[in-house]
Structures are given as structure tokens and as C-alpha cells.
Amino acid sequence: MNARAPVHQGRLKSPFYPRLEQLDFVNEWHEWKGYSSADSLYCEEMEYFAIRNSTAVFDLTPMTKYLIKGPDALDYLNRLVTRDMAKIRPGRVAYAVWCDDQGHVIDDGTIFHLREGEYRLCSQERHFAHLLASAIGFDVTITHETEDVAALAVQGPTSFSVLDSMGLDGLDQLKPFGLMHFDFQGVELMVSRTGFTADLGYELWIDPRKAIELWDALFDAGKLHGIRAIGTHALEQARIEAGFLAAYMEFLPADETIRTGRSRSPLELGLDWLVDFKKPNFNGRRALAEEKRSGSTWRLVKLDIEGNKPAHNSYIYSNAKAKGGEIGFITSATWSPVCKQNIALGTVRVPHGQPDSNVWVEIYYQREMHWNRMMAKATVVDKPFWWPARRGATPPGPY
Amino acid sequence: MKTYDAIIVGAGHNGLTTAAFLAKAGLDVVCVEKNDYIGGATVSRNLYKDWWYSNCSYVCSLLRPEIYRDLELHKHGLQVTPYGGSVTFMENGDYFGSYHDHEVAYREMSRFSRHDADAYKTYSADTMRQCRFIRDFLLSTAPDPTSFKPRDLKELARIGGKFMGMGEDRMNETIRFWTMSVAEYLDEYFETDVIKASLSGSGIIGTALGIHSPGTAYVLLHHYMGDVDGNVGSWGFARGGTGAVSKAIAGAFQAAGGELRTEAGVDKFIVRNGKAAGVALDNGEEIKANVVVSAMDVKRTFLNCMDKSDLPEKFHRRVENFKIRGSSGKINIALDGMPTFSALPEGSSLYSSDMHFIDSMERMERAYDDWKDGTWSKDPYIDLTIPTVSDPTMAPPGKHFMSCFVQYCPHKIEGRDWTSEEKDGFRDSVFDQIAQYSPDFKDLVLHAEVRTPEDIENEIGITEGNIFHGELTMDQLLFNRPVPGYAQYRSPVDGLYMCGSSNHPGGGIMAAPGANAAREILSDLRRPNTVPENFGDD
Amino acid sequence: MTDKYDAIVVGAGHNGMVCSALLAKAGKKVLVLEANDQVGGAAVTREFADGYSVSACAHLLYQLQPEVRKELKLSPQMASEDMTTIALAEDGNHLRIHGDNVEGATESDAEQYRRFRKRMTRFSDLLRKYFNKTPPRLGSKAFTDLLTLGQLGLDVRMLGKEEMQEFLRLIGMNIHDEVTERFEHPLLRGAISLDAVLGTHLGPRSPNTIMTYLYRQAGDHGRTATPSGGMGSISEELGHVARGAGATIRTGMPVKRIIIENGRATGVETESGERFNSFTVISNADPKRTMMQLVGAKHIETGFTKRIHHLRAKGNAAKLHLALDGLPTIAGFSRKDYAERIVIASDEHYVERAFNPAKYGESSPLPVLEITFPSFRDTSLAPTGKHVMSAVVQYAPYERKGGWNEAAKTEFMQAIMQTLANYMPDIEQRVTASELLTPADIESEFHISGGHWHHGELTLDQFLFVRPVNGAAQYRMPIDGVYLCGAGAHPGGGISGAAGRNAARAILNREKAA
């Protein structure tokens, strides 16, 4: 008998790691689905402004990816997610959310219609067991392909210019939520006009064996367009400005939630527009129809908060005196450098949190070993905090 | 002659816990123990040169942290250290390891099945939901569903409320969980045999049931609901062996003014005018007390140490029918050095883990068939630990103590006593299985103590040597434990109480029965309660 | 487009016919579609050899609910009633159990048995009451649910403190412990163990087997009978009653699928391509077949699909039919004994050992048997002077390792014949033809997934509130218009009619409420 080497202990390195390492000056990393992922590479603030001002590159490889294909692929996805996937033609991408039978959100993610009948589902969390259970009775094959696809987010006003100079012909015609396939040094490069920043931006998907070549080509092309690699912290600020949800922040995956009442429905997350009750059956439909009839418990709100102290982990009240107890809490908060606003996402009990209404947020902040508490007035806003016209312009300008 | 406020019979961890809480309440308490050492089955023994064996119980996680904190056990020498993961060696030369790090654990499971690696998180969440439900009731007395007393109705309403709070879907899942077998439960999540086999062990440890027996999914909880420093489900070693636990509780008891007497075996509980009056020791001495508490199992207490005439007939019959089954044995080994496990690379963290050698569900169940036939498992389920990997106090430097918990092992061989040949046979089954994966193991053995349930019964006194003082089946849980109508630590005899693991919530080094019994006794005596509340988890 | 029906029942098993008869009596226009050429599902009489007929699956009647008999005015003709159970001993010192009496055991056993029966009768009567009701939904605030739950709680309390304690204790217990605590005679222990495990994937030591024992008693208190003309005559009578009430029953019409449009049932399509319309489709088929094949996963949600997928429904009971040129010799038997119910289970260990291999996908080398000679009282079943033996044989696991091929069947048949020969030395010479139906055969011939008696294992995790699965215990499937009325639904299988009756009542009540 020979000893078997143990599985890799510690963290995995993405195929882009050698380049990230070269650009890393602060050595701040965290674990993301087993991979080392940078919090920041040199300066959070400058990284953030790369997103909003030039081009930021973020390593997306640890995102969970599944390939779904087979004769029943469309039927399968239509039963899995709440929106109507029949409307998503090949070459298009859909943001989608999927629920358990109780109508509680398991996760959200993007579904790429790669080719007729072939899809890639991409999400923060892993769902292989759920996807396979959902495949009982369907003629589909589902392949876990996280390690087989390396991915980069290329986001920011000059991102089109960068990719254009890389020689990706025809990219100018790609609309938001569209995808195109290119040849890159003999392998397929998939480019989708998607992202987590609400800015002009793309995501690049490629065979990991060509990852370094892609990186080099990209940075070469980006030299004159202010391209910079960034870490998670900068991206997180942009994410909140866009009002996008994150698992474990705005919701907990329902299949991992232990306590009753701690998960959320898509209706409670402001995703009504993704729930298509015209579809006769999808996971959670019956429960969601009932919730629509009888009313939700929670509502996700975007908050514009007075002052400049970020409202991390704060309770939310309906009045400045905190009468009646808290009505909810903040799930994500940040100072928005581009809007110069104190912004947050939070979850409050219905009927609170109507658009344009006011709530109060209890903020604790520290100044030189001294803690202060303030009740800050906040306004519930309807639209994302940042949603520039360039995000959707097709063809994109040379911003 | 002196009359004590209370006498506790049996200095196991539960007896000592009751004793400590009663002493803390200011009672004059004596705890008597038949052996010349304390601890019962929670003990470290020096049986070979400089080795200390945790020769009965061997790991520690269920010990209620509320009790640990309240009795300040750290001040009395207790230190519990978590240990790493588990490994199941496979017949094909591979192994399945489980690791603390979630991602490493995920990667390892993915080698066998990506589906299973992903399913594990749902499995954990679903199991933890059940744990949470039951954990809340560990430090409380089970209500009597037949009673109309406000206290019982209130507690029933609390449990009912908590249950109803789960919502219809999860209530139904809870009903299923409590009634299904561990094999079927695992089948709903996993497809890989070795992963299921490695998880299923927790469903049968200490029980006379097989992995396919309905009700074993619940037993999982008895191995999952423990925690070390709030990490629910993780396991630890007491530094110095499990005897350190009873020593520390005894320390707390004595610090509160309690009196401990060893080599004082009880022959009879004395009942006068229908009320407990004290105990008669084996040597003829009588000790008087107003409250008498038995930490022994319920059968030994009522069938061996009491006159039948002192007990209601129905109660007596139900105690007779209470099931305490010897299903596991123990082999404690002094090793000359660290054995090599061929499949493990040098320096693997799994050397400090729980080791198992059964890699399929079929082998797990077949091990049980042998027991049903009245013999030990020829291909046994072994839970092997080498605590000296992380505990320097139990063996000389470079030497090791190995603890093998072995299932299944019957109390009697086909209904009669074990012969020494059979004991050797039992030992060989275990040694051969280990040696299959560790070629140098047998050469390193310096001394081995082989303990069948019969041996444990004879020495410790637990009927059939059962680690839980009674099967953890539905008919013997909660308000049915130990017998219906007497699940609140009181016996039919006034002043006679029970505080051992035969009572709710059952065995393992949990100390909850001991603490709960103390609370009931203090309430009967109208004394202020000294037993801590559940920490809570919301 | 054909006419629209108020309800379509898929499958003319006895439950399907009870359900359709009750609906028809309530004035509904009901269509029943049956795949086979005769009605009855697993309650049929079939010719298995030239001139020899037998109840092809179920062969004893002991659970037909009084409510069903009464409401449908059934008066089946019985060939034998209130049969004695004879537990065979090789030496001819058999044990005879009749009602609450045991003959051939010690006085202490006889007394213990009377006590045991008294308690079991009380408990099974309690359960029976709820077998004839739709299980309440836990956590529901609906009046009927709360009422039923409240009643259940009250009924359990009304047993009295001590009996309530016993009930709560015994319900999860195994029959092994109960019989070993009470009885001395091995044959008595064996016979009771056998009653507790027939039709299940459980051994006497499996917790839960007191419950399965009680289940069997919940009807005629364990008194068994054989209908004249075999079980098929019960089905024929039910068919007659259903037709008489106005239901249309069409045989030889296998249903291909239940048509789901816009998320609700609108009818069924047969294999031949015919379509029948109704907004209420009631399936007498088992839950797996109903949801996975007739409805299809596409129309149900993942969680529910998973539950149906994991529903345990793997049969272990095989059925043996022997054509005999005369009655076999059994030591110690008088002639009338052949009219009784005969069991082979020498003690509880024997039953447990028979069960062991089933856990590993192997058939029992020493099987347990429940035997009748129905031709003894019913000459219509065999040519004059000849006989038929009908036996339930365990354990024959549905998922036999390597499958139920000819070699496997031959091996099991040999094991059975050797076992029989221990008690009936001349059995081999008597046999002129035989038929062995394994669970795999029962699946293919009677369209029952896994060939399981109860359409789903009868264990507490698939019982009452969670039968067949969590979220579907009220006969209504989580898709509008689809109902279940067979053994897979509460309370379970056996020729009882309870599931069919409860389903009909649930459907009618729902209509009333709407």
C-alpha cells in the first residue's frame, strides 16, 4: 500500500494568481470558495476609481460555474428559476434567482445562453446537489466547471476601448446582457457584457491554460486606458452603489439556513420583476403566489443616509426616538465615493420602507477611542445609487 | 449517627454533578463510590507503567458548557482541547478524510463525488436544525404529557411552541428525522458509500441498533449536539484523559464542602415508612440521609439495590423492561511508538483524528448482524483515537496511548459468560482490522486492556456496560426515559431520586441528567436553585 | 373532444373503485381507467396454470373497513372466515392462534397473549379511527385540522394515564422486545413477529414494528378471511357497486399521462392516444408512478420531486402459487387445518435472520411464509380433487443484487421448496405447476413501483402527517386537480378501502368548501 497524498491543504490559486501576485503590494487576501482572493492589491481607493474612471480588472475565477445542456435544458431552467428563460435567446445572458419549494431564495446568479440549448449558470455559492436534484425527470446533463473556466471582470468607462484595442472585432455591437465568442490564440474566448458594478463593463471567460496569455494581452491593450487590477473591497463599494444583492449579506441561501424565518423570498428582496407568474410551474411558484396574495414580511430597501458615517450593522427604526422597536437592519453599507453619499442596503418589516419614506438608522462610530452614537435620518430610494448612461450605450463611446 | 442532607450513590460524572450543585446550595452532601477511584466510566486509569488510559469514555464534547462554566471546572484542572477531523480507511488502499477546514473537507469529498461535497452543507444545516431543537431541552426536565400540572403543561407548551415555530414543512421533517434510520437519512443526501459509512457511525455508537434500524438518525444528534468552545459538533480530548472531567467536578464538589467516600459500595437503599432513609453499604455500615440520589443506572438501582416490596409492581416491571444493552467494547492499548498507517502520508493531520476502518454501509450493517446472533462483530466498527498525539500527559514521550471503541460487542456470548478465548478472539478481530492498515501496529503493542460489556458491568457497575445507561430509542427518550411517569428524576419512593444517564437526556459525558436532577431535588426541598440555565442560541 | 368528467380515476384497484363509487354516489360523473383487462389491481383472481386460479397478490382479507362495507353496502361471500393461524412446528406440535386464544402454549403464554391482544386491540382501534380520517396539517389554523389534532390528543389522553404511557412508549418500539418480554413459546413469538413484518422491509428487531403490527390489526383485529372466488370477487363486487352508482369503468386502458395545462390537471391521455377531460384526476397508482411518470417532474417542484424520489417503496414480499395434485402431508394436521392460515416462522430470530440478507439485496435462504390452501373451501379455484397453495414469502428484496433473473428466481424457489419440505415432506411430488411473483414481477404486472404492498414503506417517517411524503398527506398533490387515493396515501395498503374512501371525502369536502 502506498500513501496517498492528501488533497490540497490551504488555499487554491487561480490561474491569474502569478500576475496578481506581481501587482500585489499590500498582501491582503481572503478565502473565496477555497481560492485566495485579494481584498486589495495596492490601494482600495485607487482601485475603486479604476472602476468608475478607467478600467478595473477583477479575478472572477472562483465564481461557481455549471454547464447545463441537453434537450430539456430550457424546460429544466424554467422550472429552476423564477423568470421566463424562453425569452433569453442564444447569445443573451439573464440575471436570475432560484428558490426552494417554500419560495425562499437559494441564490441568485447569471445564466449565459452560450448556444442553442447550452447554458452556463454562474453563482456565488455552490449548488450542484440542488441542480442535480432538480434534474430528476429531465433530459439534461450538468457539469461542474468552476475550475475549467477562468474568468475576469473588466469594468469601467474605458473597458470597451481596452477590449477593442485587443482586437475583439464587433464588440461595439454587443448590448448589455449579450455575449459573443471570439478566437483567442486558438481557444474560445467568451465575452459577456455583464458585471457587478453598474458601469460599462465586460466579463471574459476562457480556458485556464490561456489565462496568463489573456491577462497579458489585456494589460498590454489597456496600458493607455488606465487599466488596473483590483481586489474585492473596491468591487464591494461599486456593488452597493449599483444596489446589487450579495449572498450572506442581503439574503442567506435558504438550504443552509437553520433558523425559521431567516431566509427571504424574491418578493422580499425587490426582485418581483424576476418572478414570472405566467409560467405554470417553477420552484417556489405556489408559495410565492400565496405570498403575493397575503403579503410579504420583509422588504429590501436602498437607503440614502444623512451625514457621512457608514451605517455598518445598524438597526433601522421608523422614528428618531426608536419608538416601537427596530423595524429592520442594515445588510450592506458604504460611503459612495462617486455619489458622495452615505448609502446602504437594508431589510425592514413591511409595511415600512415604502419608496421616498424616511427611516432612522442607529449608527455607532468611533473617533480616537471614543464611541459615538447617532440616529441618522435616511430616505428610501427606488433607483440604484449609480446607474450611468454609459452603462447601456451601444455602441459604447470611447469614455 | 449523623444524618446527611443528601447522599449520592455513585461518583460518576453525573453523580458528582448532582452532588456539586446540591453542595453549592448549602446542603450537607456525601457521595459514595464502590470503587477505590472516582469517575465511574469517566475515568483515567494507570494500568500499565506510566500510561494513563481513558479506559471507558474517551472523548469529550457533550459536557454542557453551562455546567463547565458554573462549576468553574477550569479551576479544578479541566482543560478540553479540540482534535482534528476523522479518517475512514478503505479496503482499496485509499482513505476518506474529514478536515476542520471547510474547503479542504469539500475538496476531499469532491474526490469521491462533487454532488456529495455540495450536499454536505444542506445535510449539515438540516442536521443542525434538529440539534438546535434538542439542545434547548438538554438542561431542562422533560414534561409529563399525561400530567395536568401547570409546570408540565407550561413546558409542554414551550416545546410545542418551539416545534410549531418551525413551520409545517420543518415540523414534518422533524417527525421524519426522529423516526427514520441513519442509513435512510444519509441516502437522502449522499451517493458515496464511504462518505455515508463514515457519517453513519454516529448513528449507532453506543446503541444495539444497526444503521438501518428506524430511530438511529436521532442518535446522530447525541454525537453532533456537543460543542467545543461553541463549535457545535466538534469533539475534544480532556487533558489527562476523561478522568480529568470527573476529577474537576469532584474538585468543585469538595470545594463546596462535599464529602467523597470511595470503596463504599451500596448494598441496599433503605426505605422506611415509604420514604428513603439512607443506604446500607456492602460492609454493613448504614448512612442516613434525607435525600438519596442514585447515579447508577435504573436497573441496578431498583432491581439490584432495592426490595421489590418497596416499589409499585408496575414500576418494577417497567424497570425490568427498560432496555440497557451491551453493544460496545473497549480496547485500551499502550504503544511503544506511533504506528504508521500506510495510506496516510507522513505528518498527515489525520494522525490526530478519529480513525475508522469500515468503508461501506453493508459492512456497517453486517457488523450488527453478528451482535444480533449473540457474538462480537468479526469485522467491527472501530472508533480509534490516539489522544497522546496532542496530550503529553498520558504516556511517556514518544510513546502513545491508543483507545479503541469497538462495536458491536455483546454483553454475553449467546447468552452465557465470555470465555478468555473469546475475549482473545474479540481482541484479535480488532487488532487484525487495524493491522490491515497499519503493518507495524501489532509490534508496537506493549499492553492491551480488553473490556467487554461484561467487564465494564463488573467493574463500573453499569448494567450490560452500556455507555448511555439505556438504549436511545424513541420508547426510552424524553418523557419515556427511564420509564413513563418517572421521567423527572423522582422515583416512586419519596426522597429517592435518580441522576444517572438512564434519565433524560441520556448518556455521554454531558452531565445534564446530574444537573437536572439537582434542580428537581432543590425544588422539592424549596431551596434556591444552583443549576445554570441553558445559554440559549437565538 | 370527449365529454368532460367530474373526476377521472386512474387505476381500478380496490381503493380506486371505492373512491369512484363514493364520488359517483355523490352524483359525480366519474370515469375509471384501468390498464389491465380486469378490475382490482392487486386484488384479483387469476388463472396461473391450466384450471388453477388464485388471488394473485393479496390473498387474505382482514382490513376491509366497516365504514367502506357499510357505505357501499358490500356483502362479500367468504369461503373461510375468522381463520385460525397455525404456526408450524416441524415435529407436528403446532401452535394455534384463534382470536385472543392460543392453543399449544403454556397457560402463562395464553394469559399473556390475552392481555397483549386486549392492549393491541385498544390501540389499534384508536389508530383505526384516524385511519378513516384525512390527516390534519400540522401548524394549520383551519378548524378541521385543529379539531382532528385536538381529538387525537384527547383520544390518546382518554386511554387513561397508564395506557397512554404505554401507547406512547410502544408506538416506536420493536416487536422483538415485546414478544421476548411476554412470551415463552418460540412459535408464538415467531407468528406475532411475522404479522408485524409482512409486507415491509423490516425485521422484528427494527423499531417501528409494533406500529406495523397495530396497522395490521386495524380492521378486523387480525381476523383473516378468504373471499369465495378469491380476492378478485371483492374487486368485482366493488366494480359492480361503482358502476351501479353511475361510474364508468373502462379496462384495458392504460393511462400514459395526466395532462397538466397551465399548472393544473385537465384530464388524462391513454397509451392509445385517447384523451379524457376532467379538472379532477385521482390516481390509484402509487405516488412515484403518479408523480414521476403520469404527471412528470416538469410540473412539480424540486423539493417535492426529491421527496417522491426518496420515498421508500421497495417490496420484499414475493407471492408463490402452487398447483397441487393433492394436499401435502403436514405432521399433526387434521383435515380441517388446511382451511386455516398457516405460517412458517419458528421464532423471532428465524424471522430476523430471514430479513438479514434482504438488507444486502439478497433473498432469504430460509424464508418466512404465510400460507393458505384457498381451494380447500373454494372448489372453484382448482379442478376437482386438486388444490392450490397461495403463499406470501419473505424476504425477496426488490433490488436484488444482480436483478431478478431466472437464475435468481430459481435459487429463491429452491429455498422456498426446501423450507416447505421441512414441514411438508411430500410437497415436491405434489406440485404440478408453479408461479413465483417477485416484487419485480409485481411491479411489472400490477404497475406498482417497487412491487411494494403499501406503495411505500409503512414506517413512522412515512406515516400519518408525512404519508406518502411531507407536504402531500391530505390526498392532494401539490398541483391543482391531482389527487392520490391508493395505498401510498394515508393510512397505507392492505385491502382496506380507507385511502380510497378518505380521498373521496376529501375531494367532496373541498368542493363543498369552494
Model pLDDT for residues A43-97, shown as the tens digit of each residue: 999 999 999 999 999 999 999 999 999 999 999 999 999 999 999 999 999 999 9
Residue B83 has pLDDT above 90, yes or no: no
Q: Spell out which residues of chain A touch residue C471, defining contact as CB-CB under 8 Å.
A: 101
Beta bridge partners of C283: C10, C484
Q: Scanning every residue of chain B, which has its alpha carbon at the shortest distance from the alpha carbon of C465?
A: B172
Task: Give residue-wise pLDDT tens across range A147-166.
Answer: 999 999 999 999 999 999 99
Give one DSSP letter per residue of B114-141, joined into a string. Answer: HHHHHHHHHHHHHHHHHHHHHHTTTTSP
> Any CB–CB contact under 8 A between B3 and chain C?
no
Asked if A280's CB is within 8 angstroms of C261's CB, the reply is yes
Q: Options 3.30.1360.120, 1.20.1540.10, 1.20.1250.20, 3.40.50.720; which CATH number does A17-61+149-230 get?
A: 3.30.1360.120
Distance from CA of B315 to the nearest CA of C (A): 11
Burial class (CB in 10 A: 0-12, 13-18, 19+), C413: middle
Portion 56-85 of B in contact with C at CB < 8 A: none
Say how many Å lie between the first and final Cα of chain A, rounded: 63
User: A369's torsion region: left (phi>0), alpha (psi -120 to 50) or beta?
Assistant: left
User: What's C289's DSSP letter?
Assistant: I
- Residue C1 is predicted with a pLDDT of 45
Residue B231 has pLDDT above 80, yes or no: no
CB atoms within 10 A of CB B275: 13
* Residue owning grid cell 401435502: C328
Mean pLDDT value of segment B86-104: 95
Q: Spell out which residues of chain A touch residue C309, defining contact as CB-CB under 8 Å.
A: 133, 136
List the chains bordering chain B where 3 or more Cβ pairs fall under 8 Å.
A, C
Beta bridge partners of B45: B53
The greatest distance separating any two alpha carbons of chain A, rounded to the nearest whole angstrom, comes to: 71
* Residue owning grid cell 472562483: A62
Write the residue in A4, A10, A256 that is nearest to B94 by C-beta: A4
Q: Which residue of C141, C301, C307, C480 to mutate against A (max A Cβ within 10 Å)?
A: C301
Strands C264-270 and C255-261: antiparallel
> Any CB–CB contact under 8 A between C471 and chain A?
yes
CB atoms within 10 A of CB B393: 13
Distance from CA of B353 to the nearest CA of A (A): 14
Tell me the CATH architecture of domain C4-43+63-77+230-312+449-513. 3-Layer(bba) Sandwich (3.50)
Exposure on the CB side of residue B18, measured as CA atoms within 13 A: 34
Query: Comparing A398 with B521, which gets the higher pLDDT?
Result: B521
Q: For chain C, which residues lie within 8 Å of any Cβ of chain B, measuring from their own Cβ?
A: 137-140, 157, 161-162, 164-166, 168-173, 177, 181, 202, 205-208, 306, 310, 312, 349, 352, 356, 359-360, 459-463, 465-466, 470-471
Q: Spell out which residues of chain C touch residue B179, defining contact as CB-CB under 8 Å.
A: 172, 208, 459-461, 463
Task: Give residue-wise pLDDT tens across range A88-140.
Answer: 999 999 999 999 999 999 999 999 999 999 999 999 999 999 999 999 999 99
To the question of domain B3-44+60-80+239-322+473-524 being in CATH 3.50.50.60, the answer is yes
- Residue B224 is predicted with a pLDDT of 83
Distance from CA of A351 to the nearest CA of B (A): 23
SS3 A345: strand
Residues of chain A with CATH 3.30.70.1400: 64-147
Q: Spell out which residues of chain A touch residue B435, defining contact as CB-CB under 8 Å.
A: none
Distance from CA of B238 to the nearest CA of C (A): 35
Distance from CA of B374 to the nearest CA of C (A): 11
Measured CA to CA, the distance from residue C139 to residue B170 in angstroms comes to: 10
Exposure on the CB side of residue C212, measured as CA atoms within 13 A: 32
- Residue A152 is predicted with a pLDDT of 98
Q: Where are the domains of chain B?
A: 3-44+60-80+239-322+473-524, 82-233+325-460
Chain centroid to CA C338: how far?
A: 23
Q: For chain A, which residues lie within 8 Å of any Cβ of chain C, measuring from their own Cβ?
A: 72, 75, 79-80, 100-102, 130, 133-134, 136-138, 280-286
List the chains bordering chain A where 3 or more Cβ pairs fall under 8 Å.
B, C
Measured CA to CA, the distance from residue C232 to residue B519 in angstroms comes to: 64
SS3 B349: helix
- Residue B456 is predicted with a pLDDT of 96
- Residue A1 is predicted with a pLDDT of 54
Portion 100-129 of B in contact with A at CB < 8 A: 101, 103-104, 106-108, 111, 114-119, 121-122, 124-125, 128-129
Radius of gyration of chain C (CA): 22
Asked if A138's CB is within 8 angstroms of C303's CB, the reply is no
Q: Spell out which residues of chain A touch residue B170, defining contact as CB-CB under 8 Å.
A: 260
Measured CA to CA, the distance from residue B38 to residue B44 in angstroms comes to: 10
Measured CA to CA, the distance from residue B157 to residue B181 in angstroms comes to: 28
Measured CA to CA, the distance from residue C142 to residue B386 in angstroms comes to: 57
Measured CA to CA, the distance from residue B82 to residue B79 in angstroms comes to: 10
Asked if B479's CB is within 8 angstroms of C206's CB, the reply is no
Q: Spell out which residues of chain C touch residue B212, defining contact as CB-CB under 8 Å.
A: 206, 359
Q: Which residue of A4, A13, A286 to mutate against B (max B Cβ within 10 Å)?
A: A4
Asked if C303's CB is within 8 angstroms of A101's CB, the reply is yes
Q: Spell out which residues of chain B touch residue C172, defining contact as CB-CB under 8 Å.
A: 179, 214-215, 473-475
CATH superfamily of A64-147: Aminomethyltransferase beta-barrel domains (3.30.70.1400)
Q: Spell out which residues of chain C touch residue B157, defining contact as CB-CB under 8 Å.
A: none
Distance from CA of A86 to the nearest CA of C (A): 15
- Residue A380 is predicted with a pLDDT of 98
Torsion angle (degrees, nearest 10) of CA B391, B394, B396, B398: -40
Measured CA to CA, the distance from residue A116 to residue A85 in angstroms comes to: 12
Asked casually if ipTM beats, i.e. exceeds, 0.90, the reply is yes
Question: Which residues in chain C come in under a pLDDT of 50?
Answer: 1
Residue A305 φ then ψ, to 5°: -105, 135
Asked if A34's CB is within 8 angstroms of B348's CB, the reply is no
User: Could you give the percent of chain A with pLDDT greater than 90?
Assistant: 98
- Residue B1 is predicted with a pLDDT of 79
Burial class (CB in 10 A: 0-12, 13-18, 19+), B334: buried
- Residue A398 is predicted with a pLDDT of 81
CB atoms within 10 A of CB A32: 19
Portion 325-354 of B in contact with A at CB < 8 A: 342-346, 348-350
Q: Scanning every residue of chain B, which has its alpha carbon at the shortest distance from the alpha carbon of C178?
A: B321
CA angle A371, A373, A376 (to 5 degrees): 145
Residue B395 has pLDDT above 90, yes or no: yes
Measured CA to CA, the distance from residue A266 to residue A280 in angstroms comes to: 18
Task: Give residue-wise pLDDT tens across range B117-134.
Answer: 999 999 999 999 999 888
Write the residue in B114, B121, B342 that is nearest to A1 by C-beta: B342
Write the residue in B95, B189, B437 that is nearest to A4 by C-beta: B95
Write the residue in A101, A102, A137 that is nearest to C297 by C-beta: A137
CB atoms within 10 A of CB B490: 18
Of A143, A85, A95, the residue nearest A117 (C-alpha): A85
Burial class (CB in 10 A: 0-12, 13-18, 19+), A10: exposed
Residue A193 has pLDDT above 50, yes or no: yes
Portion 311-330 of B in contact with C at CB < 8 A: 314, 321, 323
Beta-carbon contacts of residue B53 (< 8 Å; ≥ 6 apart): B44, B45, B46, B47, B241, B332, B334, B394, B401, B403, B449
At what angle are helices C175-182 and C209-217 packed, to 10 degrees?
Answer: 80
- Residue C2 is predicted with a pLDDT of 54
Measured CA to CA, the distance from residue C243 to residue C250 in angstroms comes to: 10
Report the sign of the C-alpha dihedral through residues A383, A389, A394, A398, in that order. negative
Asked if B169's CB is within 8 angstroms of A31's CB, the reply is no
- Residue B225 is predicted with a pLDDT of 82
Measured CA to CA, the distance from residue C497 to residue A131 in angstroms comes to: 39
Q: Spell out which residues of chain B touch residue A34, defining contact as CB-CB under 8 Å.
A: 103, 106-107
Measured CA to CA, the distance from residue C55 to residue C48 in angstroms comes to: 10
Contact between B381 and B364 under an 8 Å Cβ cutoff? The reply is: yes
Asked if A4's CB is within 8 angstroms of B343's CB, the reply is yes
Where are the strands (E) in C60-194, listed by range?
A: 78-80, 85-87, 95-98, 101-103
Tell me the CATH architecture of domain A297-386. Beta Barrel (2.40)
